[in-house]
Amino acid sequence: MKKDEMNEQIAQIDKAMRLGNEGLSDDQKAYFCDQRPERIDPYHGILERFANWARAESLWILGFGTGCGAIELRPLMTSRYDMYRYGIQPRPTPRQAGVFVIGGYASVKTMKRIVRSYEQMQGPKFVLGLGSCTINGGMYWDSYNTINRLDHYIPVDIYIAGCMPRPEALLAGFNRLKEMIKAGQCDGMNSYAENFDWYKKNQKQIIKHWNMPDYNW
């Protein structure tokens, strides 16, 4: 790649990373962006392949466990399964994480936190739905207070079925996610940007008390 092309891509990345916040109050400007999400096109050639390799081999996860959904994440940190050997590392905040692991049922009340956490993650970001409840509601499929399809509210790259799936299944899911990232097949962040109005409409249909900005970047 020529030096001019490299500098042009760096300039595009720098522009894409800037957050606009005009129109917000002074006390909110440091927290929220007032711009709609935009599609971020991949790099070209070997630069994109290298970036995807680096992303796949360094999965920093944000775990969102809603009861039983979190129980199988703990064993992954033990010496028996040792997720660290796969480049998987838990992080405490959305700003530090690149993989959002949502385990167990998602209630209407917690969907607000799921949406905010996802939107505050830096791109590129990926979502892993853990357990049957994220796929079709599981044993709570007819509950008035849980959602049945997580991918109607945020994009999901990998589903791991089970109630609950064993740690081995989780590791298999992570390995599948790594393969898809390296192949450039995980484009949920751009899907969210391109279908933002549809996702936001679905979110507001179930979150009755919408007391947060539409933009949570």
Q: Which residues contact 42 (CB under 8 A, 6 or more apart)?
A: 48, 51, 184
Residue with token string 């096109």: 41
Is residue 52 one of the residues assigned to a domain?
A: no
As a whole number, the mean pLDDT across the chain is 83
Is residue 171 one of the residues assigned to a domain?
A: yes
- Which residues constitute the domain of residue 132? 60-206
Is residue 29 one of the residues assigned to a domain?
A: no
> What average pLDDT does the segment 142-164 reach?
89
**CATH number, position 165:** 3.40.50.12280
For position 43, what pLDDT does the model report? 83
Is residue 158 one of the residues assigned to a domain?
A: yes
CB-based contact 181:56 (threshold 8 Å): yes
pTM: 0.81
Number of domains comprising the chain: 1
Is residue 21 one of the residues assigned to a domain?
A: no
4-8, 103-107, 163-167: range with lowest mean pLDDT: 4-8
- At 111-138, the pLDDT tens digits run 888 998 999 888 889 999 888 888 888 8
Is residue 213 one of the residues assigned to a domain?
A: no
Is residue 26 one of the residues assigned to a domain?
A: no
Is residue 79 one of the residues assigned to a domain?
A: yes
